[in-house]
Amino acid sequence: MYPSTPPETGRDPWADDDADRSDRAPAPRTGPDDTGERRGRGRPRRFRKSGEPARRPDDEVDAVEDEEDEPPVEVRPPLALAVAGFAALLCLGLVLGAQTAGPGHRLPFAVIVLGVQILFILAWTMAARPPALLVVAVVSAGAGVVADVAAVRSAEAGAGPLGYAAVGGFVLAVLGQLVRRVDRRRVTDSLGATLLTVLGVVAFAGLLVLGRIPAGTQAVTVCLAAAGVALTVARLTDAVLPWPRLAPQVPRGAAGVVAGAMVGTLASAVFGSYLVAPFTPTRAALIGLLAAVSAVLTDLAVGYAEAGRLMAGEPPTMWIARHLQGPLGGFATAAAAAYPMCLLLL
């Protein structure tokens, strides 16, 4: 007799379990509702009007970027013309003062240089606003006076006493900032501004040193003329054609920078054609090229520095100090470059 087949044969053993599970009521949820939480995290949905196409994520990103873009700073032609006129007058005064200086008659030119140094200190300290501003201004003025006296009264004409005056002035300015506890935190941030202020003041004294060496007065004339023409042409071009813009936050154009450097170099070559030996158009053009390029780039760098301070949230300073800072810095750089170029090429 064969064994009988059990009644469960051919039946799925998991069917009862599935049926039991489906009949059971779902267990209550004790945790937070993830679906609602996810919905709450998202941004509120905006109802689309009839006929309006659906917005894509790329369109939303572009809209946010357009909102963050700021309009470029407006170029004001009257202001550019005024700065160009100031650069031309400053160049004319320094060149005429250098031509009137001579052995035993250097006091008038020294007075002119001292006046330019004081103007440089006022403009740069008001624009950069280092800690202990009054201390930095007084120490820089003292360093300038010491450098002028050393340039005129020293036994031999050289740049050594000027270097000592610059180092001493910088050290005293930093120590004056460290005296006040409030200013100690900003000393490291303002070292560059303090150093540039002291070096710029002492650099103008180099014009007095050049007036005491052979062909030094001619070198001063070439360098200052190149720097003055370059700065004037650059600003005049910005008043007419400030294009292409180098940066939206800086109201300057590349055409003015290039045109200023080129015309300044040409002016120095023309001056070299009419000056006495050892000047030649080639040597004068080389000296003028360095002076013109350094002056224009310094003027442009001042504009970038001012834009950086405004973007950082610092309040704007006195407007006349901001706009005089660039040309004064350009002439200081040209004066600093005149002495080594005179020794190398003449």
**pLDDT tens digit sequence for 231-244:** 999 999 999 999 89
Query: What pLDDT score was predicted for residue 68?
Result: 46
Q: What is the pLDDT of residues 63-86, one digit of tens each?
A: 444 434 567 888 899 999 999 999
Q: Provide the pLDDT for residue 183.
A: 60
Confidence of residue 314 (pLDDT cuts 50, 70, 90): confident
Stretch 19-39: mean pLDDT? 49
Residue 204 clears pLDDT 90, i.e. is over it? yes
Residue 19 has pLDDT above 50, yes or no: no
Give the model's confidence band at 319: pLDDT under 50 very low, under 70 low, under 90 confident, else very high: confident
The listed range with the strongest mean pLDDT (2-16, 188-202, 322-336) is 322-336
Rounded mean pLDDT, 88-113: 90
Amino acid 77: pLDDT:
94
Q: Is the pLDDT of residue 38 over 50?
A: no
Which of 160-164, 185-189, 223-227 has the lowest average pLDDT?
185-189
pLDDT of residue 189: 65
Other C-beta atoms lying within 10 Å of the C-beta of residue 292: 32
- Is the predicted pLDDT of residue 1 greater than 50, yes or no? no
Provide, rounded to the nearest whole percent, the portion of the chain with pLDDT above 70: 77
Higher pLDDT, residue 113 or 316 = 113
What is the overall mean pLDDT for the chain? 82
Is the pLDDT confidence value at 129 over 80? Answer: yes
In this structure, of 49-53, 126-130, 226-230, 306-310, the range with the lowest mean pLDDT score is: 49-53
Question: SS3 string of the chain?
Answer: CCCCCCCCCCCCCCHHHHHHHHHCCCCCCCCCCHHHHHHHHCCCCCCCCCCCCCCCHHHHHHHHHHHHCCCCCCCCHHHHHHHHHHHHHHHHHHHHHHHHCECCECHHHHHHHHHHHHHHHHHHHHHHCCCCHHHHHHHHHHHHHHHHHHHHHCCCCCCHHHHHHHHHHHHHHHHHHHHCCCCHHHCCCCHHHHHHHHHHHHHHHHHHHHCCCCCHHHHHHHHHHHHHHHHHHHHHHHHHCCCCEEECCEEEEHHHHHHHHHHHHHHHHHHHHHCCCCCCHHHHHHHHHHHHHHHHHHHHHHHHHHHHHHHCCCCCCCHHHHHHHHHHHHHHHHHHHHHHHHHHHC
> How much is the average pLDDT of 281-297?
94
Q: What is the pLDDT at residue 35?
A: 47
pLDDT at 224 over 50: yes
Per cent of the chain over pLDDT 90 is 50
Q: Looking at residue 123, what is its pLDDT?
A: 95
Residue 85's pLDDT is what? 97
Q: Average the pLDDT over 114-129 and give the result.
A: 94
The answer, yes or no, to whether residue 148 has pLDDT greater than 70, is yes
Average the pLDDT over 88-115 and give the result.
Answer: 91
Alpha carbons 94 and 223: distance in angstroms, whole number: 11
